[in-house]
Amino acid sequence: MDPGNDTSISGFLLLGFSEEPELEPLLLGLFLSMYLITVFGNLLIILAVSADSRLHTPMYFFLCNLSFVDICFTSTTIPKMLLNIQTQSKAITYAGCITQMYFFLLFGGMDDFLLTVMAYDRYVAICHPLHYTVIMNPRLCRLLVLVSWIMSVLNSLLHSLMVLGLSFCSNMEIPHFFCELNQMVQLACSDTFFNNLMIYFSATLLAGIPLAGILYSYSKIVLSIHGISSAQGKYKAFSTCSSHLSAVSLFYCTGLGVYLSSALTPSSPSGAAASVMYTVVTPMLNPFIYSLRNKDIKGALKRFHVKESKN
């Protein structure tokens, strides 16, 4: 087929996880359960923090934003996958695929930036406790979130526009359960040099720099905790950032593992299964990480439950 720009593209086929029909009811039940847990778990965090004035602090302001982004992040991929399983269809329209890719990149980038901002918040709280309220004022908190949104929007918009400029030929099968950027670029029959260049550049810039910022913040935190004389003081300081450290480790370890495996075995069905770790499992576990290991959140959830029971 002529590799020229095919303007008659109607859509793609998302191959998903399995070609065996008998596994589809199991997959439907599993992913529906995980999606509902993710949505209600993160929504509960947002409601509990919003309803408790004692949690109207920078740390929980960022946590509410993270919970909202996690709901959106999961909602960009799982509902379409569940619909395809239910209707026994693998199709997704061209416009739907580009839209899904755009929002996946947007909310994935926001997750990354918010975890970095939260690391900075913990750094200020532990290393500069006397100046915490002055440094982490409401204006700065809103500005940090706004800048994160702007950078994420620009990044996802850039990649989406570049994919729109590609031409696609006869092979319209995506070996994934959603329209992932790398898979889309690999399907193109036009020159993808600049697309791949921008993928590597943005990955280095928008993932490497935030990760470096997180590592720097925690190196300072560790040094500050090491300088505390009492064991109780060390434990209290560490407990304030243990939940965030767990979330960061889960996000980066799963994401890095997926992309390393996909680099070794491109277009492999196992890559789609591995992607579940950071697209579904990580957003689902974040509410448990922040609630089970955080006394303030557990207290807010109890008060929220009591208040709703009385009403």
Summarised one tens digit per residue, pLDDT across range 11-28 is 899 988 766 777 888 989
Report pLDDT digits (tens) over 68-91.
999 999 999 999 999 999 988 889
Residue from 76, 90, 73 nearest 24 by CA: 90
Given this model, what pLDDT does residue 267 score? 55
Compute CA 121 distance to the chain's CA centroid, rounded to the nearest angstrom.
19
**Does pLDDT of 268 surpass 80?**
no
Q: Which two tokens stand for residue 115?
A: 């975890």
Highest-confidence segment of 48-52, 210-214, 271-275, 292-296: 210-214
CATH code, 142: 1.20.1070.10
Is 134 within a domain? Answer: yes
Enter the DSSP assignment of 266: T
Enclosing domain of residue 68: 11-310
Q: Which two tokens stand for residue 133?
A: 């309220």
How large is the average pLDDT for residues 96-109?
A: 96
Give me the residues paired with residue 13 across strands: 91, 173
Given this model, what pLDDT does residue 4 score? 42
Is 6 within a domain? Answer: no
**Widest Cα–Cα separation across the chain:** 72
Is 258 within a domain? Answer: yes
Given this model, what pLDDT does residue 65 score? 96
Phi, psi of 169 (to 5 degrees): -110, -135
Given this model, what pLDDT does residue 2 score? 43
Q: How far apart, in whole angstroms, are the C-alpha atoms of residue 152 and residue 207?
A: 11
Contact (Cβ atoms closer than 8 angstroms) between residue 104 and residue 178: yes
Residue from 242, 295, 284, 42 nearest 303 by CA: 295
Is 73 within a domain? Answer: yes
Given this model, what pLDDT does residue 1 score? 39
Q: How far apart, in whole angstroms, are the C-alpha atoms of residue 125 and residue 221?
A: 9
Phi, psi of 245 (to 5 degrees): -65, -40
Given this model, what pLDDT does residue 204 score? 85
**Does pLDDT of 151 surpass 90?**
yes
Q: Which two tokens stand for residue 219?
A: 């190196």
User: By percentage, how much of the chain surpasses pLDDT 90?
Assistant: 49
Neighbours of 281 (CB within 10 A): 16
Is 190 within a domain? Answer: yes
Tell me what the pLDDT averaged over the chain comes to.
86
Given this model, what pLDDT does residue 311 score? 62
Report pLDDT digits (tens) over 207-230.
889 999 999 999 999 998 888 777
- The per-residue DSSP string of 64-92 comes to HHHHHHHHHHHHTTHHHHHHHHHHT--EE
Given this model, what pLDDT does residue 183 score? 87
How large is the average pLDDT for residues 228-239?
A: 77
Contact (Cβ atoms closer than 8 angstroms) between residue 189 and residue 172: no
Contact (Cβ atoms closer than 8 angstroms) between residue 16 and residue 81: yes
Contact (Cβ atoms closer than 8 angstroms) between residue 177 and residue 81: yes
Q: How far apart, in whole angstroms, are the C-alpha atoms of residue 287 and residue 40?
A: 9
Is 3 within a domain? Answer: no
Tally of structural domains, the chain: 1
Is 189 within a domain? Answer: yes
Given this model, what pLDDT does residue 139 score? 97
Given this model, what pLDDT does residue 260 score? 64
**Does pLDDT of 201 surpass 60?**
yes
Given this model, what pLDDT does residue 278 score? 81
Contact (Cβ atoms closer than 8 angstroms) between residue 257 and residue 277: yes
Q: E strands, 48-184, where?
A: 91-93, 173-174
Given this model, what pLDDT does residue 266 score? 56
Neighbours of 58 (CB within 10 A): 22
Given this model, what pLDDT does residue 153 score? 97
Is 289 within a domain? Answer: yes
Given this model, what pLDDT does residue 18 score? 66
Report pLDDT digits (tens) over 270-283.
567 778 888 898 89
Which is more confidently placed, 304 or 115? 115
Q: Which two tokens stand for residue 143?
A: 């500005």
Given this model, what pLDDT does residue 7 score? 44
